[in-house]
Amino acid sequence: MSAGRRRFRIIKEIAEGGFGKVYLAEQISSDGFSRIVAVKLLHAKWSSHDEVVMRTRDEARLLGLIRHQHIVKVEDLTSIDGKCAIVMEYLEGCDLKWMISFLQERGLDFPRAALFEIVLAVASALDAAYNGVPLQGGQPLRVIHRDIKPSNIFVTVAGGVKVLDFGTARANFAEREAKTQALAFGSQGYMAPERMLGEEDTPAADVFSLGIALYEILSLESFGRIPPRPNKFATKVEERVRSLPLSGDPEWCDQVRDTLRLMLSYEASERPTAAQLVEIMELLAQDANDMGLRRFCRTLVAEAKANLPDLDTGDPLTGRIVEEDKSASFSGSKNMSTTFVDEEDDLAAPPTERMKASDIARITNENFGESEDGNTPTMRMPVDPSLVKNKPKQAAAKAVPAVQAPAPPDEGGGGGGLVALLFGGSFAALVLVGVVAVLLILLVVGIYFMNQPTVGTSTPTPKPTPLQPIPTPKPEPMEPLVIEKANDGGAKVTLQYPDPAGAEIIIKGPQSFSAKWDGKEPAELDLKDGRYRTVVKAGDDTFRPTLTVDPKKKKCSFSFDVGTGEWTGGCN
């Protein structure tokens, strides 16, 4: 191994998205020291996309400047096999998106005290990122995350909370490379109204996104699409806040709802700051009177992590030892040797998914790539609104990632280029050109004679028989309605889905009731009274609405509204 260069033994793949993969790895230094890290490796196809590469490096540099217990840390920025690589700490736990699914499947609520402690930690991180002065000195970085959501909030089995994925962040720092924005970033289902309308980003937008995440974790349901117009927006927020399943002291419940209303204010100026949220969440956590963060992580988070699905993708890097590139740089790199290492602490950072510009690696099942439905958000590539208004054609072009070939090396300011480098003069270059020309002529003549018919033979050369495609076996049809666990008696409930093509619909409710339905024909069920959670997967969209069966009624009818992602109807 070359002196000073590190090797990484790739243990397994732990996440993948549209822009890269994250691996659990053992870092082996030249002096024999080793430790467990996570390595995010940019896909080869993005290595020539300037903005994606620059944002990947910007995220690593930014996280090297921020020192906060609730913000993921980056150890180093390097390159492996000519591709951008980020070395990060390995976090043992899971993100809140997985926790929501885990608790839903078991019919459990998210412990309120633990939840408010988590929101407190996130608010503290956002305040530090925007207002904190780097230990190196200088001005505050003014970091705005721009993609706060459950999948970007990570909890560890040891009781830690980390904000992930600053690849979409806006910040002020000297080493920043991405000065323009041909790509726009964020997840629509968590985006503040002013961001959807193309207004300037402010820290209040992160508070709004955190409010949507808080609602979803409290209710274990998706908030749904956010109306950008004030009247519809206010109506939906009020409906959602009032329907929250809160129990306990009525005054405390009102305080929780009032806090959510403030965080989800249409006007950015009416939302509390991140620093104010820290104080508010501390009080709400103290009065929640249930499981705190450490016990929650020690029990439920540890169990949820144990249930994370393993990624068995057959990745060719798994089990191999790879070495960082000699120059620690790659095409289009700028100052790639820059390393942010704190002498008293080993650094790092995991990140998330979904397609996103520099989704710095996530150390979870968070399948890096998700659909853009507001419920399972993703990195988006919409056109900048201001560009749409002024130059629609140019904007559309900028929304498509351009793959550019790297420029040829330019040694000594011109001259004979690669030939001059190899042969040292113009005469050698001319000789080489002549040899190549002769070879090309011989090749063309040879091909010509090979295609002529054989002398004395009139039989034409038979054409090859084209290969016939192998028919793909059709999948076995799914049963229209499968009741996996029934509950006896109750009301007759009819469910209808508007699209005859159907959808994948899962229904769960009291007494561990569960059923699967294809949505193509109306479904009739006998359901006990109570609240039923459903998952509706329609194309790229996933909705998680609930329906309630009235105990005083014997017949109920519900129809799914694709526009709102909710069940309409009721019991009579």
Task: Tell me, yes or no, whether 439 lies in a domain.
Answer: no
Q: How far apart are CA 179 and CA 328, in angstroms?
A: 23
Q: How far apart are CA 352 and CA 374, in angstroms?
A: 16
More confident residue, 201 or 375: 201
Kindly report the backbone phi and psi dihedral angles of residue 441, in degrees, each rounded to the nearest multiple of 5, phi listed first: -65, -45
Q: Are residues 382 and 489 in the same domain?
A: no
Task: Tell me, yes or no, whether 434 lies in a domain.
Answer: no
Task: Tell me, yes or no, whether 451 lies in a domain.
Answer: no
Identify the weakest region by mean pLDDT among 259-263, 309-313, 394-398: 394-398
pLDDT digits (tens, 9 = 90+) for 141-199: 888 998 999 999 999 999 999 998 876 666 554 444 444 443 445 688 999 999 888 88
298 pLDDT higher than 90: yes
Query: What CATH number corresponds to the domain at position 556?
Result: 2.60.40.10
Q: Are residues 377 and 521 in the same domain?
A: no
Task: Tell me, yes or no, whether 309 lies in a domain.
Answer: yes
Q: What is the mean pLDDT of the chain?
A: 74
Task: Tell me, yes or no, whether 445 lies in a domain.
Answer: no
* H/E stretch holding 188: none
Q: Are residues 42 and 164 in the same domain?
A: yes
Last residue of a domain, one of 390, 415, 447: 390
pTM higher than 0.75 for the full model? no
- Mapping DSSP to helix (H, G, I), strand (E, B) and coil, where does residue 402 land? coil
pLDDT digits (tens, 9 = 90+) for 315-370: 888 889 998 886 554 433 333 333 222 322 322 333 333 333 233 233 223 333 33
> Listing from the earlier edge strand, what are the strands of the sheet with 491-496?
523-527, 491-496, 555-561, 566-571
Token digits for 471?
């028919």
Q: In the chain, how long is the greatest CA-to-CA distance? A: 104
Task: Tell me, yes or no, whether 402 lies in a domain.
Answer: no
- Mapping DSSP to helix (H, G, I), strand (E, B) and coil, where does residue 95 land? strand
Average pLDDT, integer, range 271-296: 96
Task: Tell me, yes or no, whether 314 lies in a domain.
Answer: yes
What are 246's strand-pairing partners? none
Task: Tell me, yes or no, whether 509 lies in a domain.
Answer: yes
**If pLDDT is split at 50, 70 and 90, which confidence band does 422 have?**
very low
258 among known catalytic residues: no
Query: What CATH number corresponds to the domain at position 131?
Result: 1.10.510.10
212 pLDDT higher than 90: yes
Predicted pLDDT at 327: 57
Residue-number span of the structural domain to which 518 is assigned: 481-571
Instruction: Say which DSSP state 511 is in.
Output: G
1 pLDDT higher than 50: no
Kindly report the backbone phi and psi dihedral angles of residue 116, in degrees, each rounded to the nearest multiple of 5, phi listed first: -70, -30
Share of the chain above pLDDT 90, in %: 34
Kindly report the backbone phi and psi dihedral angles of residue 151, in degrees, each rounded to the nearest multiple of 5, phi listed first: -70, -10
Nearest to 115 by CA among 132, 96, 134: 96
Nearest to 175 by CA among 126, 141, 147: 141
Q: What angle do CA 43, 407, 49 make, to 5 degrees?
A: 30
Last residue of a domain, one of 341, 359, 390: 390
Q: How many domains does the chain have?
A: 2
Share of the chain above pLDDT 70, in %: 67
Q: Are residues 485 and 383 in the same domain?
A: no
Q: How far apart are CA 72 and CA 87, in angstroms?
A: 12
Last residue of a domain, one of 370, 390, 410: 390
Of these residues, 147, 165, 206, 359, which one is catalytic?
147
